[in-house]
Structure 1
């Protein structure tokens, strides 16, 4: 998603017309259904057929057979197995793939999916043809390869969604760069910033999360095929050719490491966990700010829920789902690392199966949290007057006043004490900081003209142009830097996904050519 697309998407949500009433959606207070993407994430898990079952079997066979196609092409090209036999195997495997492995569904698999699948090929084609499939490899390096291929789908989707979240954050930051609000520390109004400045800060953390995910996934681009059971093979295979055919960037240089390591599982879950912490913290802020008591933000109708009993409610319940799902990867990381730490540094079920199985829910839940947060950020509109009111009522300009006294020659600690007394006086009298300051000669001397609005929170926020504050030049520089960083990371995400797609296309073309020429 480009920056322009992000702004368009934000505008489509924040400037939407009154949503049409739909059957079963009108609660009296709310007149639209839940956003479609949010509904899929929150509710579709309860629908019949949402488990894996036969779909999981087909997916595993598709991954295994993709590796088979590349391996067989390499065996033929290297002259290890003659092209005639390879072509028959390629054609047969391609047929199984085209038919979604219907011939293998429901068949007994007492020794696992791969051996049942290989046995079926031997039964159909005979030992002389079907029996050459496993030449120069083991289930160990095969499994290490297929898990990397399996990771590409959810991992690539997660990368794209995190980039889209950053896009929306930066687009919203630009749109709301002049909406003054209080920054909060310890739950209390602190200094004046803008809502756009807050979103820019979140975007910076999300972009670091994206970079961490990209770094964590580099191992899945290394081809372990050829490592055999653990010590390689004496067959003259070419792992670099299978790497090319399968879209990897290179081959594993050490056979022990290739089959023993699933470091990428831990690194990806760790990166998801770190990103999840940011998302959970943002969800907490937004949950507070959308409450009636704060009233700083208003969520779009299709991003809130009603109550089954209380007709007045507008519950921003998606924020609770974000908090829950953004924490799930941390549990997956603990479970995966615990399983992995029990195994020696070689091929092990504890590593290749028990540890890896925690990756999928960790990636899925992180993806769901990212998607929901993107929808929420795009559909949350700041209540400008309320934000400005709280910035003024919370005396957020007090620090600026103290700094102004310092710049006028007063020691900071004395200025801090004087302003504190001025705030106390304002509270006691029920007046603004500007009004209370008129009774303090040191403060009154700083006010230009009649001093009626010189401590306006918007003006003060604009003056905070140093140290990464919300001042115009500073905010502009931060947005520019983060936008350039996002473009760089998006290019890397696109390059990775394009490489995988093109490799699959090249492999399919190579297989067709080899079959047709035999």
Structure 2
């Protein structure tokens, strides 16, 4: 059994060692990135005179064949293929002969895997950001279609003040916009090419890492070879961006569960985005929303797990870093699946404006408006708060409906009692960024412009193929 290090060892590796250390079962996902990096590396080796033209052509053709076999499923893995890099190099050598054995010239698996991961992260963040933008578009569409529908805004899960439904939906949209920003930032810091760092110290061969970086479309090459092979900050940053996106999906999921419960009845799920019960025929369950809540914990766990792995590692490469891939791959998959499912759910959910308004029209929902009415007449806010609070207390104690108490109070009267009329409080939210008609109309316009700019930022893939 031949390994990449067989010359140093007299005995064959134990089966238990190979079973425990092998990563090809999951890092085969990096095969397209490994092929792209190898193409660029081979071009550079030819450019600096370490490969002849014939050798370059033979290796390039072997890489093309290997890529085709991997994509079609024809590729046959060998027992010694402990990772995707080993598998690709073995197959290229089988196809190109002696020239293929030069593929690894001036390269270590340490800088090779760091390269593959950076290419993957750039692509994955681009694709995930597009999925986020897709959900934001649906939220914008639903906000525009919501018109003047309003519902209770909550603090402490207690009814607080009425807000337009559009405002509530766009609150989630703006949170997702920050996720897009974080993905763009993380992608930019991943945009550094580590190839040429070698195992840890560079090479005595006339390599040209700047050329390799440019060929692969990176913004820059590494500055320090030790840092280049040991850095996984970019993975941790990607995981954080993904984890916070999952948290935002979870918060939206919680609202969906709440809104669609029989006790609240603000909305109904489309059949295509709900599930039933194996025992209870009447049930319509918000499983997508519930899984959005649950899977956030899974993604948060991946982030904390990687940080715990990284915290005590000495420079430079350590095999511990093999544990960076499965958390990253799973986080990307779960967040992207969640984004698409929640996008479909939000595109098809049916809101019930009458139920929304009925909950938002409770007289106490205008309490702040009553206090602000007194403030506008010159009363200090703390005193106004106490006056209205006393009226609310008396009403809830059964003395009289709040509207009657307000009308009878000489400090408030008929005009103030009109603030309790259905649909009036939400129209009084006039400050920028507020929940009333005028600021929400302006917000919709700004959100649409922001969405267009973000779509442009992620409209093209970051170049990765040599």
What TM-score bracket applies, with the shorter chain setting the length?
0.7 to 0.9
Runs of 5+ unmatched residues, structure 2? 1-22
* Equivalence for 2:429: 464
Matched, 1:365 2:334: yes
* Equivalence for 2:38: 68
* Equivalence for 2:128: 158
CA spacing shift, 1:201–1:338, aligned 2, 3 Å = same
Contact 1:170 1:203 in 2 (8 A): yes
Moved more, 315-324 or 362-371: 362-371
Question: How far off its partner does 1:63 sit?
Answer: 3.0
Structure 2 matches for 1:483-502, cutoff 5 A?
483-495=448-460, 497=461, 499-500=462-463
CA spacing shift, 1:373–1:431, aligned 2, 3 Å = farther
Aligned mates of 2:232, 2:253 — CA distance in 1: 32
Matched, 1:384 2:362: no
- The one of 200, 225, 244 equivalent to 1:255 is 225
Question: How far off its partner does 1:204 sit?
Answer: 1.1
Structure 2 matches for 1:40-119, cutoff 5 A?
59-100=29-70, 105-109=76-80, 112-119=83-90
Aligned mates of 1:373, 1:431 — CA distance in 2: 45
Matched, 1:400 2:365: no
Q: Secondary structure at the match of 1:396?
A: helix
Contact 1:72 1:133 in 2 (8 A): yes
CA spacing shift, 1:426–1:219, aligned 2, 3 Å = same
CA spacing shift, 1:313–1:121, aligned 2, 3 Å = closer
Matched, 1:317 2:284: no
Question: How far off its partner does 1:477 sit?
Answer: 2.5
- The one of 439, 448, 451 equivalent to 1:474 is 439
Aligned mates of 1:369, 1:217 — CA distance in 2: 21
Q: Secondary structure at the match of 1:126?
A: helix
Q: Secondary structure at the match of 1:184?
A: strand
Structure 2 matches for 1:215-254, cutoff 5 A?
215-254=185-224
Q: Secondary structure at the match of 2:200?
A: coil
Contact 1:141 1:259 in 2 (8 A): yes
Contact 2:46 2:53 in 1 (8 A): yes
CA spacing shift, 1:269–1:424, aligned 2, 3 Å = same
Structure 2 matches for 1:396-475, cutoff 5 A?
396-429=365-398, 433-447=402-416, 453-466=418-431, 468-475=433-440
Aligned mates of 1:206, 1:431 — CA distance in 2: 45
Question: How far off its partner does 1:425 sit?
Answer: 4.0
Q: Secondary structure at the match of 2:302?
A: helix
CA spacing shift, 1:116–1:315, aligned 2, 3 Å = closer
* Equivalence for 1:141: 111
Q: Secondary structure at the match of 1:182?
A: strand
Structure 2 matches for 1:182-193, cutoff 5 A?
182-193=152-163
- The one of 219, 238, 241 equivalent to 1:268 is 238
Aligned mates of 2:252, 2:87 — CA distance in 1: 49
Question: How far off its partner does 1:428 sit?
Answer: 4.7
Structure 2 matches for 1:14-25, cutoff 5 A?
none
Moved more, 318-327 or 57-66: 57-66
Q: How does the TM-score come out when normalised to structure 1?
A: 0.79
Aligned mates of 1:386, 1:272 — CA distance in 2: 35
CA spacing shift, 1:144–1:57, aligned 2, 3 Å = closer
Question: How far off its partner does 1:226 sit?
Answer: 0.7
Question: How far off its partner does 1:394 sit?
Answer: 5.7
Contact 1:402 1:412 in 2 (8 A): yes
Question: How far off its partner does 1:397 sit?
Answer: 0.8
Contact 1:72 1:86 in 2 (8 A): yes
CA spacing shift, 1:430–1:315, aligned 2, 3 Å = farther
Q: Deviations over 1:141-160 (max 9, x none)?
A: 11111122233443332111
Question: How far off its partner does 1:57 sit?
Answer: 6.9
Q: Secondary structure at the match of 1:81?
A: coil
Q: How does the TM-score come out when normalised to structure 2?
A: 0.88
Contact 1:104 1:117 in 2 (8 A): no
Aligned mates of 1:258, 1:178 — CA distance in 2: 54
Contact 1:396 1:457 in 2 (8 A): no
Q: Deviations over 1:332-388 (max 9, x none)?
A: 01111111223112111112x113331111222222222222222222222111111
Contact 2:109 2:199 in 1 (8 A): yes
Contact 2:77 2:87 in 1 (8 A): no
